[in-house]
Structure 1
Amino acid sequence: MKKFLLLLSIFLLQYSFAQNSVTLTGTVVDEETQEPLEFATLVLKSLDDPDIVTGGMTDLDGKFNVTVSPGNYDISVEFISYRPFTLKNQSITKSRDFGVIPLSLDIAQLDEVEVVGQRTTVELRLDKKIYNVGQDLTTRGGTVSDVLDNVPSVSVDAEGNVSLRGNDDVRILINGRPSSMVGQSATQVLQQLPSDAIEKVEVITSPSARYDAQGTGGILNIILKKGKLSGFNGSFVANTGTPDNHGISANLNYRTGKFNFFTTTGYNYRDSPGNSFDRTQYLSDTIPNRFLNETRERNRKRNSFNSNFGIEYDIDDKNSIVGSVFFRNNDGDNTTRNYTDKFNADRELTSHVFRNTSEDELDKTIEFNLNYIHKFNEDGHELSVMLQHSDNKEDERSLIREHTTMPVDSTVFERLSTLEDQRNILLQADYVYPIGENTQFEAGYRGELMDMSNDYRVENQDANGDFFLNQDLTNLFDYTQDVHAFYVQYGTKFFGKMNVLLGLRTEITDISVAVEGYDLDAKKNYSKLFPTVNLGYEVGENETVTLGYNRRIRRPWSRFLNPFPSRESKTNFFEGNPDLDPSYSDVFDIGYLKQWQHVTFNTSVYYQHATDVFQFISEATGELTNEGDPILRRTPINLATDSRYGLEFAVMYSPFRWWRLNTDLNIFRSELRGSYNDQSFDADNTSWFTRLNSKVNLPWKVDFQTVLFYRGPSRNSQNENQGMFSTNLAFSKDILKDKGTVSLNVSDLFNSRKMRTDTTTETFLRESENQWRERQFTLSFTYRFNQPNKKERERGQRGGNGDDDMGGFEG
């Protein structure tokens, strides 16, 4: 009862203050780009009592909301490197909306704060982390995969697979929307798209109801470049490196009147050598143990052309439309040399086989986007509609030559071909309705329709040297997936300190799987509700605590459902599971953000409980090759539950005006509980990864950057992965009166980015090592024209629009 009376007293005091106060609102933007300026300062000096000075700061959307007592004030809005906006002797008797307040760059001040005003590589926000690609020297001349490798909370393993907080089920969006560019072959595509096309990457670990429920690990939102300056402007980038990495790209923009034309177009040739080995010991109770060593050398050569072209048309002050076309053409030539040696129980060599695979790959994607935005009379009242259509075709053809020199000399040829065709249609509508000054309601729909076919053919050679179709290994796989989603969410702000965003999303999924010539025509239909809760409390002026909850889903990829065996080698094959069900997760996140003059500190504690978790099981099939070697099968299953706990730290520190440090540390534990065929696969895994990013401004306009990364060891029910360390270095120098920049970077300086795994089962033991890409040196040159100089860019440049929630209620 006493606690209730205390809470009631506090509420009445707050209510009494609210009755004797007024609210001042407005939005602060950059005058040139019209982008919002977050953390701009609003200062009110009382003319009635000189001792009273109050104010506040703008939020992530440049909006301020300040409660003051009625009176006479001098009002100013200030932001570093901008001219202040002032209003003298203002009589404030009632709540007032100042509308949009534009601030212009102060060029004289920029000369004095060249380094202090520099835009950081990493921006820490309450609901997300934003990684600004343009400020990272180590990714110039690289790919999107290189970019993600430097993003806080994100790790990229030796094979290019992306994980967030140690969870590999990550939803990757382009400009806030799903895209065929990063569909089910996301790893491969991310290694082809140039980093020069990317403006920034948003890491969203507690998404609101507006976002897809897909992705139990969270969302990575990749924002493409789109210029906003008037006139014709842009930049050109050329790079060369070793192993062969040569490319050129252009980022151009032309704005005139109501039209804005923009494009990012580039070509790249890359040769990525890699290597791996497996050492396997087969265990048996009836025959002596045998041993097998496999060594692989890979060369992946790719010619990639990417182009994104768009037109933005402002019909009037209330209506605008944006159309864009993305085209990607990738021509690959891959060669894999596989050396296999077999030994008996006495370690005596009994067989030696050389297997050479030459693969030609052609991959084409074309994607059309059309966006319409209507703004109603009330500020923040908006309707947006988007339509997207994409078509992706992959044609892979391989010739395999297998030469056996022991125990007998023989040569066998085999041909493989894979033709995959995928079509996607995406329709999305979002409606935002503000209710008063601090509340808003949102509702929307998203429909994703996907149709994919995969034609896989195997041809063997007969005694006469002619090729014939192997019907046992050839299959035609058809897969369709339709997802219809509806959402509503409500956001409000209490007493100027508490933000609340509540949402509910429902997703209806229809999946169909069919294999020609195979007795399978499976259909799955399921619908679920996905609630989201995001709370934020401003403890002080630069101190905030957040609490987030959301429910997520992980749908199996089409390959996971295809029951037809896909041979990885003569002794290993992958087989999908058409009975695989989706996995669901409940995710909780508590965050804390504190900003000082030179330090920004962000930490999170998170917990995730997942059911029907996917796990890959390796087991002996009981079949033998012609040489008598056991054939192993790897397949995904739903393996009970997985509980994940984690603690995350991120710190930005500027000890001097010329030195910036960013570091993040992620520690997580996974407790897997499940059994399969009366065998327990329970596993506990504690792992961690950390990253240190240091950037130093040296004399003569030279910048030096170092990125250190270490991923600790991890394990699951059958595999134990060793730790991995890597180092990236980069130098850059501005030339040609700051219009040009020359950069030199080294990726994986010590050539140590290798994945080492030990696998233990009842039938075999295996030791593996895989290096997907070797050390890379890259030299790049960037030339800018009709753009702000370096000092203006570092403070004033803003670019790209994500699929953010509106009105400061971001989740």
Structure 2
Amino acid sequence: MKIYLILFLLFALSFNLKAQNNTTNGKITGKVTDAVTKQPVDFATISVFKQGSTSPFNGGSTDPKGNFKIDNVAPGDYILTVDFIGYKQYKIAHAVVLSTNKNLALGEILLTPLQTQLKEVSVTATGPTVANKIDKLVYSPANDLTSQGGVALDVLQKVPMVSVDINGNVELMGNTNIQFLINGKPSTIFGASITDALQAIPASQIKSIEVITNPGAKYDAAGTGGIINIVLKDNNIQGVNGSVNLTAGTRLENGNFNINAKKGKIGVGAFFSGNENLTSATPSSGNRTSYSNTRDTVTNLGQNGVSNFKRSGYRSGFNINWDITPKDALSASVNFNHFGNNSNGYVNNFQTTSVGGLSIDTNSVNHSTSKFNNNSTDWSLFYKKTFSKKDQELDVLYNQSIGHNTNNYTQQQDYTNVPFPSSGSIGSNPGTDKETNIQIDYNQPVTEDFSIETGAKATIENIDNAVNTQMLSNGAYVANPFQTYSFTYSRKIYAYYLSTTFSLFHNFIDGKAGLRDEYTVSTSDFPNTTIPSYNILAPSFVLSHKIDKTQTIKFSYSYRLERPDYNGLNPFYNISDPHNISTGNPELKPEYGHNFELGYNKSFSNGANIYVAGFYRYNTNDIQSFTTFYPSFTIGDSTYTNVSLNQRYNIGREVTEGVNLFGSIPAGKFTFRSNMFFADRITSNPGSVQVSGLAYRINLNTSYEFAKTLAAEFFINYRSSQRGIQGTNPAFLFYNFAVRKQVLNKKASIGLTAANPFNQYVNVNSTTYGSNFNQNSLREIPLRSFGISLMYKFGKLEFKKDREQQDNAAPDEGGAGGGSK
């Protein structure tokens, strides 16, 4: 109720302040846009000087749509500047407010990124690496040398507030429950396997990564960790252009090609990318001690072996954009995705069971294979309608994603010191995940500093799969009807939201606030499973204050939930190792979270920038993996002994509080960037002891520019161990080097990379314990690699407006001191 009351008071206050803003003085308005990307620049600083003065007497900042308004400006001749880190300063020498017309409309002001060069019709642009906007943080990897030739996971390691562990699991502010989007749209590829999906996206195709820790009401309420939106490269500029990227290495090979063309009102684009992680051998070992319920029987299981792992994938797509009229645009896209992994290897088992004074040794060797594949199609249709009133807009989106997933395994266990017959099984789990989204959004400006946005969305998801199992019997594999079944799951989500964007106290505070209502209906045909319907009211807000043109402070809050995904729900038992079995949980309920964040940003005249964010997160019904030990475990008609079962559950509550520090410092030809994360995670599980553990992540990125066409970079990342509810997750250190040489007037480049060159393996130690077992394991992960990357850009760009757009330009654009065209 307190949050709803605060929202109501903010809305009322913004209207009240606007009503009181009557003055005899005038105002200056305009819109700031990136000259290359044509995207609005929010948080740009507008300063107004009296002629001959070096200190501004008035000013403000742009809102999320790049608009600004400066009130209480007396008639006169002024100097106006526009500043934002990573861009050249824009200056208007004579911005004249007339006594006869006190409202000066500057129209669109185009900010040019630093290091931008325009030669005839070619363009090379480098914008800011990290841009801190009012509701999100944007990381642009254009100059990320150590990620060249890599994949999306390599880029994510550099993004502030994001952490990637040794297994490719991504955390945002310490939370793994993240909603991933591609170009702002959901995809079923992330429900199948987030790690494999991120491995299939080449770094060279990523334009930027948007991190939204407290999403507004317009976004789905899903993802207690927040949202990571991967924006892929595109082009909406007249002409034909494209690029080719190729990488060869000792562990990773990939390549991608894209082409874009636009003439008049029609633009088209296509791309293809493929990559392969070459087969690598991962040695592993472990030891587990378990006890019977009466603790009179003790079993020790020692394991060692080697697993050969390989991952591959490709993506392709096509898009078309049609500017029907200057105020109506239609775009359509279709993407095809394929990725997967497979492994094969062996594990030696040494089991000793002690009962009283007797010991029984049972030794065996287990040969197994495991294979995962995903084939999916995403397609969307998007319509945008603008109106004569600035920022009035209607958007309609239809998006559908269909993923076909397959999980297969084989295993055979042969005993070496006892006369037991060999045992084994073959499991196949094909399934389909289909998701359809229909969304409509409308933005209505009420005044120049207050607007209302509203919209609705329907999401329909259907999951179905089958489990087919064969068991080894008398030397042959035969179908097992007791481990053969099907599973269907349906989920429908209906959402409506209302949000506002506003400025208070003469632009002293800029803010966004809103409320989203989501109603979820879920059904399943899995035996003894009942899933009740539920509704969530999700408020959110962000308040920002510009202390001066170099300092900003903001406070934000959101209430969110995490719905279980395909892997979490799927009841398929993976028995590739009969002593370590994993499965999904169809009875999972959503996790709920309250997220608070306080951030401070400071930029300096030499280009340096720091951002500090303190956060507090409180989750209930927390979804976590949990391992249970069973002396014997029955699946269908088969009983397995000495089994650790890993499954996801709704476990108690979790509180995470900490701070994230980001800094970027240019020093001559050097540029230093560092991202540090410190957090304490407290997990409470009913019936268990409360667990608290400090975790931190520190990385350093250093680049050096030998010449305008030759640069080098070094990156090092350390992630500490993390105590959890059942043990300790491993710590690890990773580092790499890179150098890039640009040729052919920067249309082509060649790059060399070396990852962990002085260490063949990264040792990963972890511990797990429960009421009747404790376990430790060691994996030696091969991360050392060397690679070479080639890039070539072709075609030319034509920077000119369509004649029809020029004819329909607003009459007040380009007035006294008007913006660039």
Task: Report the TM-score range of the alignment, normalised by the length of the smaller protein.
Answer: 0.7 to 0.9
- Flag the 1:388–1:407 CA change in 2: closer, same or farther, 3 A: same
Structure 2 matches for 1:190-229, cutoff 5 A?
190-229=198-237
Q: How far, CA to CA, are the matches of 1:44 and 1:476 in structure 2?
A: 68
Structure 2 matches for 1:238-257, cutoff 5 A?
238-243=246-251, 245-257=252-264
1:762 maps to amino acid: S
**Structure 1 residue 732: Cα displacement:** 0.9
Structure 1 residue matching 2:416: 3-state secondary structure: strand
Structure 2 matches for 1:434-449, cutoff 5 A?
434-449=445-460
Structure 1 residue matching 2:155: 3-state secondary structure: helix
Query: Match for residue 685 of structure 1?
Result: 693
Matched, 1:270 2:280: no
The 8 Å contact of residues 197 and 264 in structure 1, kept in 2 or not, is answered as no
Matched, 1:36 2:36: no
The 8 Å contact of residues 631 and 641 in structure 2, kept in 1 or not, is answered as no
Q: In the TM superposition, what whole-angstrom CA distance separates every residue of 1:266-312 from its partner, at most 9, and x where no partner exists?
A: 12232252343321122355546332222343333344221121001
Query: Match for residue 503 of structure 2?
Result: 493
Structure 2 matches for 1:375-414, cutoff 5 A?
375-408=386-419, 411-414=422-425
Q: In the TM superposition, what whole-angstrom CA distance separates every residue of 1:723-758 from its partner, at most 9, and x where no partner exists?
A: 221112211111223211111122344356444211
**Structure 1 residue 222: Cα displacement:** 0.7
Q: How far, CA to CA, are the matches of 1:759 and 1:17 in structure 2?
A: 63
- Flag the 1:322–1:773 CA change in 2: closer, same or farther, 3 A: farther
The 8 Å contact of residues 158 and 771 in structure 1, kept in 2 or not, is answered as no
Structure 2 unaligned regions, length at least 5: 1-14, 800-821
From 623, 628, 652, the equivalent of 2:664 is: 652
- Flag the 1:704–1:192 CA change in 2: closer, same or farther, 3 A: same
Structure 2 matches for 1:605-684, cutoff 5 A?
605-623=614-632, 629-656=641-668, 658-675=669-686, 679-684=687-692
Between the aligned residues of both structures, percent identity stands at 24
Query: Match for residue 817 of structure 2?
Result: none
Structure 2 matches for 1:578-593, cutoff 5 A?
578-593=586-601
The 8 Å contact of residues 271 and 299 in structure 1, kept in 2 or not, is answered as no
Q: How far, CA to CA, are the matches of 2:76 and 2:25 in structure 1?
A: 13
TM-score, normalising length: structure 2: 0.86
**Structure 1 residue 356: Cα displacement:** 2.4
Matched, 1:758 2:764: no
The 8 Å contact of residues 122 and 662 in structure 1, kept in 2 or not, is answered as no
The 8 Å contact of residues 529 and 586 in structure 2, kept in 1 or not, is answered as no
Query: Match for residue 28 of structure 2?
Result: 24
The 8 Å contact of residues 412 and 422 in structure 2, kept in 1 or not, is answered as yes
Query: Match for residue 341 of structure 1?
Result: 350
- Flag the 1:694–1:117 CA change in 2: closer, same or farther, 3 A: farther
Query: Match for residue 258 of structure 1?
Result: 265
- Flag the 1:754–1:503 CA change in 2: closer, same or farther, 3 A: farther
- Flag the 1:367–1:38 CA change in 2: closer, same or farther, 3 A: same
Structure 2 residue matching 1:147: 3-state secondary structure: helix
The 8 Å contact of residues 81 and 110 in structure 1, kept in 2 or not, is answered as no
Query: Match for residue 801 of structure 1?
Result: none
Q: How far, CA to CA, are the matches of 1:182 and 1:577 in structure 2?
A: 18
**Structure 1 residue 722: Cα displacement:** 3.8
Q: How far, CA to CA, are the matches of 2:541 and 2:570 in structure 1?
A: 36
Query: Match for residue 67 of structure 2?
Result: 63
Query: Match for residue 457 of structure 1?
Result: 468
**Structure 1 residue 228: Cα displacement:** 2.4
**Structure 1 residue 439: Cα displacement:** 0.6
Range moving further from structure 2, 255-264 or 373-382 = 255-264
Q: How far, CA to CA, are the matches of 2:368 and 2:614 in structure 1?
A: 47
Structure 2 matches for 1:114-513, cutoff 5 A?
118-243=126-251, 245-273=252-280, 274-284=282-292, 286-287=295-296, 289-330=298-339, 332-343=341-352, 350-408=361-419, 411-463=422-474, 465-494=475-504, 495-513=506-524
- Flag the 1:216–1:41 CA change in 2: closer, same or farther, 3 A: closer
Q: In the TM superposition, what whole-angstrom CA distance separates every residue of 1:422-473 from its partner, at most 9, and x where no partner exists?
A: 111111111100111111000011221111112121101221x332112232
Structure 2 residue matching 1:34: 3-state secondary structure: coil
Structure 2 matches for 1:539-618, cutoff 5 A?
539-562=547-570, 565-567=573-575, 569-598=577-606, 599-618=608-627
Structure 2 residue matching 1:416: 3-state secondary structure: strand
Q: How far, CA to CA, are the matches of 1:779 and 1:454 in structure 2?
A: 41
2:39 maps to amino acid: E
Range moving further from structure 2, 54-63 or 695-704 = 54-63
Q: How far, CA to CA, are the matches of 2:613 and 2:337 in structure 1?
A: 38
- Flag the 1:446–1:401 CA change in 2: closer, same or farther, 3 A: same
1:511 maps to amino acid: S
Q: In the TM superposition, what whole-angstrom CA distance separates every residue of 1:493-522 from its partner, at most 9, and x where no partner exists?
A: 02122112220001111111223xxx3353
Q: How far, CA to CA, are the matches of 1:453 and 1:643 in structure 2?
A: 35
Structure 2 matches for 1:697-708, cutoff 5 A?
697-699=705-707, 701-708=709-716
Structure 1 residue matching 2:153: 3-state secondary structure: helix
- Flag the 1:129–1:771 CA change in 2: closer, same or farther, 3 A: farther
Q: In the TM superposition, what whole-angstrom CA distance separates every residue of 1:641-686 from its partner, at most 9, and x where no partner exists?
A: 2222111211111122x221111211111222222xxx42421122
Q: How far, CA to CA, are the matches of 2:61 and 2:564 in structure 1?
A: 44
Q: How far, CA to CA, are the matches of 1:688 and 1:570 in structure 2?
A: 35
**Structure 1 residue 132: Cα displacement:** 0.9
Structure 1 residue matching 2:154: 3-state secondary structure: helix
Q: How far, CA to CA, are the matches of 2:769 and 2:35 in structure 1?
A: 62
2:783 maps to amino acid: E
Range moving further from structure 2, 316-325 or 345-354 = 345-354
- Flag the 1:146–1:370 CA change in 2: closer, same or farther, 3 A: same
1:581 maps to amino acid: K
Query: Match for residue 802 of structure 1?
Result: none
**Structure 1 residue 770: Cα displacement:** 3.5
Q: How far, CA to CA, are the matches of 2:130 and 2:114 in structure 1?
A: 24
Q: How far, CA to CA, are the matches of 2:90 and 2:117 in structure 1?
A: 9
Instruction: Count how many residue pairs are aligned between Structure 1 and Structure 2.
Output: 767
